[in-house]
Amino acid sequence: MSKEIPYKIYLEESEMPKQWYNVRADMKNKPAPLLNPATFEPMTYDDLRPVFCDELIKQELDDTTPYIDIPDDIRNFYKMYRPSPLVRAYCLEEKLQTPAKIYYKFEGNNTSGSHKLNSAIAQAYYAKKQGLKGVTTETGAGQWGTALAMACAYLGLDCQVYMVKCSYEQKPFRREVMRTYGASVTPSPSMTTEVGRKILAEHPGTNGSLGCAISEAVEAATHQEGYRYVLGSVLNQVLLHQTVIGLETKTALDKYDIVPDIIIGCAGGGSNLGGLISPFMGEKLRGEKDYRFIAVEPASCPSFTRGKFAYDYCDTGMVCPLAKMYTLGSGFIPSANHAGGLRYHGMSSILSQLYHDGLMEAVSVEQTAVFEAAEKFARVEGILPAPESSHAIKVAIDEALKCKETGEEKTIVFGLTGTGYFDMYAYEKFNNGEMTDYIPTDEDLEKGFQGLPAVPER
């Protein structure tokens, strides 16, 4: 007999994971290594030390250890806002009149308004433990910068954030949240770095991009004694930290003997999706269970669905190592009308390999349809979702409506990564009927692909 399932499945503190799960350990085809952009040789621990924190490099390069202990100090910080609830979307199911059972894991219950804090506290912790003075980073929409500022404030580390210029101007309150937590925030590209000055000289009046801001943040870290660079997505270490999402989800589902059929997440750089699906993907990779995994990305920045699986620069200034990933080219910038986040040109190497191996699906969706789904969700489930998260909502609704046609009672789980309170310009555009879609043409994309580096076959 099945137990009655509550609206929210909460876990006890004691049920929070004590270890992160490293899905690479179960992958037959490992993600390709980062390469040195000058020599095309794999980056070693020593190569990466000027840029990243020591312990984080070990995590980045570790393709074999399945479980990695979460230090107590990090778990204690997690306890301030975790375990996060797994919510049964009874009201959405009712609204859609679907036989599907829909669940979402809600990560928006902290001031950063997103899952980013899960990795921010881990990265700040290892920086502090190494005795560093501070960290530098980039932020696009601002959630990552906020999360890092919060973690650094807690640990007493300096935090320098390069914020993509258009967000800096459009989201002044995000900036003030970061400053409240003690971070310094610089609009990027800026005149404070060599690479920023170069980009400004080549593209005067540019609104900036994540790729530019990364280049500036890396330069800032390597030019200051006692500083390292940290990144909020894409990297293996970030996916590792984000597995708290998937591990908690699995524990909650197991409590009620629920087995999902489909797991859906939005994909910018891939960290929330990777974190959510990792434990389930591990079961699939070990041949224990089967699931459908769906990555959802914007049609205006379609890395998985229209990108190339190739080595590429992670940043515009080409100062970072090369990563093999689905990419639109490091020069790609989504069209100016794109308001929905998820605008990075590349994608996690782990997820790229899994997608390449046919273990995961990807779909792209247009932003007006995403905001329609966000509105539908907000009106029945109460939470005002982030535009990024709403990509997952859109596809969860689509899958639930397919079940309505076929009569199948599938169980759908999706990641609700955050809240959208700082995205009111985007919502305003949508509410005014002024939001438009732009799907890049093949020619637009070709320009980005032309910038891919010629890396010799290994």
Ligand X SMILES: *Cc1c(COP(=O)(O)O)cnc(C)c1O
**Contacting residues toward ligand X, per CB under 6 A:** 114, 116, 143-144, 233, 266-273, 342, 386, 388-389, 417-418
Rounded Cα distance between 332 and 303, Å, is 10
Q: State the nearest-atom distance from the C-beta of 143 to ligand X, in Å.
A: 3
Nearer to ligand X, 144 or 414 (CB): 144
Q: State the nearest-atom distance from the C-beta of 246 to ligand X, in Å.
A: 12
Side chain identity, residue 251: T
Nearer to ligand X, 17 or 270 (CB): 270
DSSP state of 454: -
Rounded Cα distance between 280 and 263, Å, is 9
Q: State the nearest-atom distance from the C-beta of 47 to ligand X, in Å.
A: 24
Phi-psi region of 370 (alpha: psi -120 to 50; beta: other; left: phi over 0): alpha
Axis crossing angle, helix 143-155 with helix 117-129, rounded to the nearest 10: 40
Residue with token string 């046609």: 405
Could you give the C-alpha distances from 31 to 342, 387, 413, in angstroms and in order? 22, 29, 26
Query: For residue 395, which of 306, 305, 332 has the smallest C-alpha distance?
Result: 305
Q: State the nearest-atom distance from the C-beta of 418 to ligand X, in Å.
A: 3
Torsion of CA 26, 29, 31, 35, to 10 degrees: 140
Nearer to ligand X, 82 or 410 (CB): 82
Nearer to ligand X, 393 or 403 (CB): 393
User: Residue 56 contacts by C-beta under 8 Å, 6 or more apart in sequence?
Assistant: 123, 126, 230, 237
Q: Extract the tokens encoding 90.
A: 């009874």
Rounded Cα distance between 185 and 188, Å, is 9
Could you give the C-alpha distances from 168 to 162, 164, 175, in angstroms and in order? 9, 6, 7
Rounded Cα distance between 326 and 305, Å, is 9
Nearer to ligand X, 387 or 440 (CB): 387
Q: State the nearest-atom distance from the C-beta of 269 to ligand X, in Å.
A: 4
Q: State the nearest-atom distance from the C-beta of 112 to ligand X, in Å.
A: 8
Q: State the nearest-atom distance from the C-beta of 204 to ligand X, in Å.
A: 29
Nearer to ligand X, 132 or 244 (CB): 244
Nearer to ligand X, 146 or 190 (CB): 146
Q: How many CA atoms lie within 13 A of 55 on its CB side?
A: 17
Nearer to ligand X, 208 or 270 (CB): 270
Phi, psi torsion values for 411, nearest 5 degrees: -105, 120
Q: State the nearest-atom distance from the C-beta of 85 to ligand X, in Å.
A: 16
Q: State the nearest-atom distance from the C-beta of 389 to ligand X, in Å.
A: 5
Nearer to ligand X, 239 or 258 (CB): 239
